[in-house]
């Protein structure tokens, strides 16, 4: 009964691969349907093969504009959240201060709160203050919810750092600023980069908080949401597929470079 | 409450003990904390207070709202929308259990069985994130379409008979039923289950498996007595990371469901953005927040004690 034994031994692998297929199935559909030529306004049924949307990705009014707004917001939210989050992470790991518990829970709570609660409460604040909803309120909200994730990422890295390295730098007569710039920052950099990438991804793809606080500003997820009501252009699938391919290629290239460096060192 | 972070923070940082605090440097941590913490106080904590105050106001959009301490709004919100609350808990709970059942083998595969494919599978788990989740959720409309291959297979296998008997589907349809919403929720939050599970499985010393094997434990026993208990931190943070966002989600219920599958998130969204009944919306959101905080605290406490055993 070797077949049964083989199945028994590899059951977990088969189940895992099935889950992976479930995770990837929608991406396959998105890609296939980026070559569709739908009849009517919605792109849910396969009609015939066409590369029309790929040749004209900005052919739908408002689509590329919303993409631009999303990229801008994601960029500034990343800058803001990374800066503020890194400062908090250093304070938490390197210093003793009062109210540490309160600070920790203030950082933990936004991650443990459903987005819709944060979105709704932030909207009540903006309404009460009479703030004009738009680019700036979205940016404020995005920095707020990205901040905690950056703190977590940077903290993990700084915590695993050997404090003796900085002492060594000081023993070699490096000033505090020099020590920070030449020793501390380079070592913490991977953590900061990880936090920044996470912030960018979270901000770029955020819908719920943006939906509440955007006013009439349309980000890319807002555009997709609107199109689900009015009719989904094929170009949405083109953009989705392109982002997927570019991201995977970037990761593969960076991994290849990393491997080559490792081999050089060895 | 640090279960969501990757590693538990050590109780005291190693630094200050060796370094006598200089007077000049004493304010440094406060300056470092100030901008970020101020941001969180003004745009996270303060809004919660505004929301609490809004929930006990009465009035109308035209005449303005005043705090009248009308707690009946809470009662009205609960009695009017308890089906949506129940649905949120039920759908999010089902999705969380499904995520655990589906995600565990995948995390296990990456941690122990993938070998040189590990990095590639890891990339494939994370890569879908780069396509906007709304686009991917819309793809489920195609996958589950009426008369499509998925529905066809489920129909031939008589799965749909069972699910419609359970009230999860209606007739030959999957789209616009609870099953579609749970499928979408499970799909959307599955990576949040797989990644923490993988992190805690990967930390397990493989020699423990060998030891269990040497002591004549069968694979099932090894899993039950060694692997699973050691992966509990991942199970706890994974279930929290899936349940919390799923309970507040309204995207899946809106895109894949119908008016009969509305969750509490849908109600909050409509009340806030379309009906403009701010007190009711604020009360609903406050109840959701309180319910989740209570559940999370109880859950962490319970699993925390189990962890120690």
A-B C-beta contacts closer than 8 Å = 276
Q: Which of B36, B54, B142 sits opposite A85 (nearest CB)?
A: B36
Do the chains contact at B43 and A140, CB–CB below 8 Å? yes
CA distances from A261 to A88, A251, A264, A265, B215 (A): 32, 15, 5, 6, 43
- Closest residue of chain B to A129, computed from CA coordinates: B50
The domain spanning residue B172 has which CATH number?
A: 1.10.3720.10
CATH 1.10.3720.10 maps onto chain A at 61-232
Number of domains forming the structure of chain B: 1
Tell me the chain B residues in contact with residue A243 when contact means C-beta distances shorter than 8 Å: 130-132
- What b-and-e string marks burial along A226-237, b requiring 16 or more CB atoms within 10 Å of the CB? ebbeeebbbbbb
Return the structure tokens found at B276: 């403009």
**What is the reported pLDDT for A1?**
64
B218 domain-assigned: yes
pLDDT for B10: 46
**Nearest-by-CA chain B residue for A255:** B119
Residue B37 resides in a domain: no
Of A260, A240, A237, A256, the C-alpha closest to A43 is A237
- The answer to whether residues A224 and B134 touch, using CB atoms and an 8 Å cutoff, is yes
> CA-to-CA distance for B243 and A114, rounded, in angstroms?
9
Q: Which residue has the higher pLDDT, A181 or B304?
A: A181
Q: Which of B13, B33, B128 sits opposite A93 (nearest CB)?
A: B13
Give me the pLDDT at residue A266, please: 59
What's B12's DSSP letter? S
Q: Is the pLDDT of residue B4 over 80?
A: no
Q: Which domain holds residue B227?
A: 83-308
Could A20 and B125 be called an inter-chain contact, meaning their C-beta atoms sit closer than 8 Å? yes
Contacts of A201 in chain B (CB under 8 A): 129-130
CB atoms near residue A125 (< 10 Å): 22
What 8-state DSSP symbol labels residue B25? G
Residue by residue, DSSP assigns B122-136 as HHHHHGGGGS-HHHH
Mutate to test the interface with B, among A18, A19, A40, A104 (most CBs of B within 10 A): A19
- How are beta strands B64-67 and B57-60 bridged, if at all? antiparallel
Binned average pLDDT, 10 residues per bin, chain A of 266 residues = 84 95 96 92 89 90 94 97 96 88 90 93 92 96 96 91 85 86 90 93 95 95 93 93 90 84 72
Tell me: pLDDT of B15 over 50: no
Q: Give me the residue from A19, A105, A109 closest to B105, CB to CB.
A: A19
Which stretch of B51-65, B92-106, B153-167, B215-229 has the lowest confidence by average pLDDT?
B51-65
* Structural domain includes residue B156: yes
Q: What is the pLDDT of residue B213?
A: 86
What is residue B70's predicted lDDT score, i.e. its pLDDT?
85
**Contact across the interface for B124 and A23, Cβ inside 8 Å:** yes
B3 Cβ neighbours under 8 A, 6+ residues apart: B233, B236, B237, B240, B300
Q: CB B44 to CB A140 under 8 A?
A: no
pLDDT in tens, B242-265: 999 999 999 999 999 999 999 999
Q: Is there a contact between B127 and A247 if contact means CB atoms under 8 Å apart?
A: yes
By Cβ distance, the residue of B5, B15, B36 closest to A84 is B36
A164-168, B83-87, B217-221: range with highest mean pLDDT: B83-87
In a domain, B304, yes or no: yes
Per-residue pLDDT at B24: 57
Strand partners, B65: B59
Question: Does the distance separating the beta carbons of B292 and A26 come in below 8 Å?
Answer: no
In this prediction, residues B77-97 reach a mean pLDDT of 95
Q: Which of A104, A156, A211 sits opposite B7 (nearest CB)?
A: A156
Residue A178 to chain B, least CA–CA distance (Å): 17
CA-based R_g, chain A, Å: 24
pTM, two decimal places: 0.89
| Nearest CA-CA distance, residue A70 and chain B, Å | 11
Nearest-Cα residue of chain B relative to residue A142: B43
Minimum distance, in Å, between the CA of residue B241 and any CA atom of chain A: 8
Q: Flag whether B43 is in a domain.
A: no
Contacts of A149 in chain B (CB under 8 A): none
Are the Cβ atoms of A211 and B285 closer than 8 angstroms? Answer: no
The answer to whether the Cβ–Cβ distance between B285 and A116 falls below 8 Å is: yes
Distances (CA, A) of B240 to A70, A154, A167, A207, B300: 28, 22, 40, 20, 9
Nearest CA-CA distance, residue A250 and chain B, Å: 11
Q: Of all residues in chain B, what percent carry a pLDDT higher than 70? A: 90
Residue B174 with chain A: CB contacts under 8 Å: none
CA angle A83/A151/A169 to nearest 5° reads 70
Query: How many whole angstroms separate alpha carbon A154 and alpha carbon B288?
Result: 31
Partner residue facing B139 (CB), from A26, A95, A127? A26
CATH of A61-232, one of 3.40.50.720, 1.10.3720.10, 1.20.140.150, 1.20.1080.10: 1.10.3720.10
Q: Please name the residues in contact with A70: beta carbons below 8 A apart, sequence gap of 6 or more.
A: A204, A219, A220, A221
Torsion, Cα of B283, B285, B290, B294 (10° steps): 140
Confidence check: pLDDT of B9 > 50? no
């Amino acid at each position: 009964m070797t077949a049964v034994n083989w199945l028994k031994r590899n059951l977990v692998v088969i189940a895992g691969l099935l889950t992976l297929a479930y995770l990837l199935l929608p991406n396959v559909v998105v890609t296939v349907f980026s070559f569709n030529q739908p009849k009517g306004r919605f792109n849910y049924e396969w009609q015939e093969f066409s590369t029309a949307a790929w040749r004209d990705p900005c052919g739908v009014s408002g689509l590329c504009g919303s993409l631009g707004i999303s990229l801008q917001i994601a960029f500034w939210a990343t800058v803001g959240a990374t800066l503020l989050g890194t400062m908090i992470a250093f304070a938490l790991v390197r210093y003793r201060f009062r109210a540490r518990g309160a600070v920790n829970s203030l950082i933990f709570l936004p991650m443990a709160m459903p987005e819709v609660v944060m979105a709704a409460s932030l909207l009540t604040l903006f309404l009460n203050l009479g703030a004009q909803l738009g680019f700036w309120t979205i940016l404020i909200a995005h920095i707020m919810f990205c901040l905690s994730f950056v703190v977590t990422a940077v903290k993990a890295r700084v915590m695993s750092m050997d404090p003796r390295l900085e002492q060594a730098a000081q023993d070699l007569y490096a000033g505090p600023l020099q020590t920070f710039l030449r020793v501390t920052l380079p070592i913490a950099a991977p953590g900061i980069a990880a936090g920044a990438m996470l912030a960018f991804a979270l901000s770029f793809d955020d819908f719920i908080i943006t939906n509440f606080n955007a006013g009439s500003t349309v980000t890319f997820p807002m555009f997709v949401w609107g199109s689900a009501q009015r009719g989904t252009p094929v170009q949405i699938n083109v953009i989705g597929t392109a982002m997927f391919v570019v991201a995977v290629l970037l990761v593969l290239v960076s991994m290849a470079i990393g491997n080559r460096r490792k081999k050089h060192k060895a | 409450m640090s279960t969501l972070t990757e590693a538990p923070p050590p109780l005291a940082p190693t630094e200050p003990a060796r370094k006598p605090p200089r007077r000049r440097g004493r304010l440094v941590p406060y300056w470092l904390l100030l901008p970020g913490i101020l941001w969180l106080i003004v745009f996270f904590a303060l809004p919660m207070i505004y929301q609490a105050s809004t929930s006990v106001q009465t009035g109308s959009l035209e005449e303005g709202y005043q705090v009248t301490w009308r707690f009946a709004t809470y009662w009205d919100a609960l009695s009017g929308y308890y089906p949506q609350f129940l649905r949120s808990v039920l759908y999010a709970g089902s999705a969380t259990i499904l995520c655990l059942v589906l995600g565990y083998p995948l995390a296990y595969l990456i941690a122990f069985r993938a070998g040189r494919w590990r990095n590639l599978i890891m990339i494939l788990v994370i890569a879908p994130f780069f396509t906007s989740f709304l686009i991917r959720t819309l793809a489920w409309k195609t996958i589950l379409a009426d008369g499509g291959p998925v529905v066809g297979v489920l129909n031939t296998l008589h799965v749909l008979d069972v699910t419609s008997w359970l009230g999860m589907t209606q007739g030959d349809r999957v789209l616009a039923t609870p099953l579609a919403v749970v499928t979408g929720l499970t799909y959307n939050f599955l990576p949040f289950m797989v990644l923490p599970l993988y992190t805690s499985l990967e930390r397990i010393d493989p020699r423990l498996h060998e030891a269990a094997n040497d002591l004549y434990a069968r694979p099932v026993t090894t899993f039950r007595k060694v692997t699973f208990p050691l992966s509990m931190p991942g199970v706890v943070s994974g279930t929290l990371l899936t349940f919390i966002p799923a309970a507040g989600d309204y995207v899946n219920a809106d895109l894949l469901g119908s008016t009969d599958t509305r969750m509490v998130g849908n109600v909050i969204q409509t009340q806030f953005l379309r009906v403009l009944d701010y007190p009711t919306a604020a009360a609903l959101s406050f109840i959701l927040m309180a319910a989740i905080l209570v559940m999370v605290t109880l859950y962490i406490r319970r699993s925390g004690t189990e962890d120690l055993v």
